[in-house]
Amino acid sequence: MSQMILCFLALCGAIGFCKMKHPASTGIVLMIQTVLISLITNNFSQNAWFSYMLFLVFLGGMLVLFIYLTSVASNELFTSSYKWMSTMITLTVMMPALLMMEPLMLSNNTPDNEEMMIDKEMMSSLFNYPYSLMTMAVILYLLLTLVVVVKITESHSGPLRSNS
């Protein structure tokens, strides 16, 4: 049942994204979509790491877009549409009716002990000998990338410089 609700909310968000005109509202809808897609992915997979990493990557991208849009469109007015709000309210009211039509969709999504043990074994194999070298290489690469990005943005001639 929770999967049906999440899919319905993701569909409403996708429809809503097409109707947005202001950069801040599109960013908010995109952030909500990211959370919903991460939750849907978490429900369908045995391991939560993929959905967690998906959320973190999208969050980082949204922060960069937010900085860019606040510097470009800082004085643009934010207006709301009553037609759009009435459509969303109607869809929200219709959701319980949709869920009542399918009473067999109530399922128990609690993980079994065997599934939890599989996740624990998968995590321990990630940090054991053959894969630990790859994990350390990724950590060092990300640290080096962080230092390079900080050094690039530290100079005042980069694209993040304000024109004031």
| First-last CA distance in the chain | 52
Residues 68, 72, 75, 79, CA torsion sign:
negative
The C-alpha R_g of the chain, in whole angstroms, comes to 21
| Sequence spans of domains, the chain | 2-111, 127-164
Local confidence pLDDT in tens for the 164 residues of the chain: 577 777 777 887 788 777 777 777 778 888 888 888 888 888 777 777 778 888 888 888 888 877 777 777 667 676 666 776 777 778 777 777 766 665 555 455 555 555 555 555 665 666 677 777 877 888 898 899 888 888 877 766 555 555 55
Cα 18–chain centre separation: 18
Cα 38–chain centre separation: 6
pTM > 0.85: no
DSSP state of 1: -
